[in-house]
Amino acid sequence: MGDTVLKIGGSSLASAEGFRQAAKVIRNDSKRRYIIVSAPGKRPKEDMKVTDLLRSLRSTQHPIDTMRAVKERFVEIAKGLEFEQDFVDFLAASLDEAEARFKKLRCETRFDYIESRGEYLSALMLAKVLGSDWQCIDATKLIRFSISGQYDAIMTRRAFRRAKLSGNVVIPGYYGCDSRGRIHTFSRGGSDITGAVVAAMIGADLYENATDVPGVYVANPNMLVMTPTLIGRMSYSQMQEMAYRGANVLHYEAIYPVREARIPTRLFGLLTPNNLGTYIYPDDDKRAYSDHCITGITEKPGFTMFSITKPGMNADDQFTLKALSALSGYGLGYDHITTGLDTLDIIVPDDKIGDRREAIAQTIRDMCSADVNLTSEVGIVCVVGQDLGKSFVKVTHILNTLAVRGIEPIFYELGGSRTNLVIGVAQVRLRETVGAIYEYMFRNHL
Ligand code: ASP
């Protein structure tokens, strides 16, 4: 039997209790020999995630207070785990050293360096809890980035070959280093990516991802009155679509390495390890599909729609190109496009636009010689389902369900792969929209 790579999320490692539970789950299955950890997350309601604290060093006027808060978190967890005082002191001293090094460093990557310390110390602590037959291997020995900070799969493969890992290792997630030894982090939530990379590199049989939720819900529980059911199994394409469109349970870039290596992923709750959770399989694997027509529903707020109108626009074969290059001049792509004879609607996420909305609209007007209207506060709902494209009747029913509630889509479209229905609605109606679709699905056993 091959090995399992298990990644444990930060919310499950927010306290000494979480570390103990993690160790119990790891010991329960001897195949779990490669463990990837996040930095301690939020304890219910209180405090900040360690990564958020460290990240605040980018802007805070009080770096000393920040580092003190980080140290307190680690020391508290370490004491809760009843580590001997020497080890607690060692953890505190590591943070002092990191702070001193951070202050000395002049390069941009110093922020990545200090941010990576959350995962680094988390991994040291878990290895210590697991005992002497476990070792902690620093991610800088395995995960490689280019000088400009892009993940480098070729160099990572070489590093793995050189490291000749043999099981029972804990590896910090979220970061790696470039050829000059500088640390770079993945984007937020990136320990999921580390886990997937390790699974692919060692040729694992299974990639497990444990969090504080029992798996992937059919819809976001915060959007519903009733508790949604869990998705038992799904394909990588479906998971990727859901992750990209707002399901926060797995980083969508964590799908590429395992998908390519054809390694199934299991998402489960660290507190309920015996429940199956959600399994994700390659697209051409029969196990990926259940008889449910709808796999999941996701939602995301915070989009602006640029509606560009010009009579006879379709006669100008450069028109779309001009509109997109206007956006690209601002370093922007788009999330979604719909077209008509005289109109082109381009939907862009607000967090990328910032306060440049009007300037962008004006640039499009100038470059396209067209009218541009803005619709703000657009939300996008995505219904993911294997055969959605083939069951036009169901798509009609979904839209009808919204119509009878007076929810008027700003746009809707069956995605290119025919496995998703994307619906733009006023952001204030997102909750109602998700609720209505879930209820329809639930009532009709879809
Ligand atoms: N600690 C990092 C974050 O909060 C990475 C991770 O948890 O995956 O984004």
> What are the pLDDT digits (tens) for 73-109?
999 999 999 999 999 999 999 999 999 999 999 888 9
3-class DSSP assignment, residue 271: coil
Per-residue pLDDT, 59: 87
Q: Which CATH superfamily is domain 296-443 in?
A: VC0802-like (3.30.2130.10)
Q: Could you tell me which of 170, 161, 204, 195 has the C-alpha nearest to residue 1?
A: 204
Per-residue pLDDT, 7: 98
> What are the pLDDT digits (tens) for 245-286?
989 889 989 999 999 999 999 999 999 999 999 999 999 999
Residue of 7, 8, 49 to test ligand 1 pocket, by largest number of atoms within 8 Å of CB:
49
Enumerate residues 6+ apart whose C-beta is below 8 A from 300: 245, 246, 379, 380, 382
Per-residue pLDDT, 94: 96
Per-residue pLDDT, 361: 97
Per-residue pLDDT, 248: 86
Q: Which atom of ligand 1 is nearest the CA belonging to 10?
A: 7
Whether 277 and 269 have beta carbons less than 8 Å apart is answered as yes
Q: From the CB of 189, is ligand 1 less than 6 Å away?
A: yes
Per-residue pLDDT, 311: 93
Enumerate residues 6+ apart whose C-beta is below 8 A from 255: 196, 236, 239, 240, 243, 265, 280
Q: From the CB of 40, is ligand 1 less than 6 Å away?
A: no
Per-residue pLDDT, 60: 76
Q: DSSP secondary structure string, 180-232?
A: TS-EEE-STTTHHHHHHHHHHHHT-SEEEEEESSSS-BSS-GGG-SSPPPBP-
Per-residue pLDDT, 391: 74
Tell me if the domain spanning 4-289 has CATH number 3.40.1160.10.
yes
Domain chopping of the chain, boundaries: 4-289, 296-443
CA 62 to ligand 1 center in whole angstroms = 22
Residues of the chain under the 50 pLDDT cut: none
Tell me how far apart the 2 most distant CA atoms of the chain are, in Å.
76
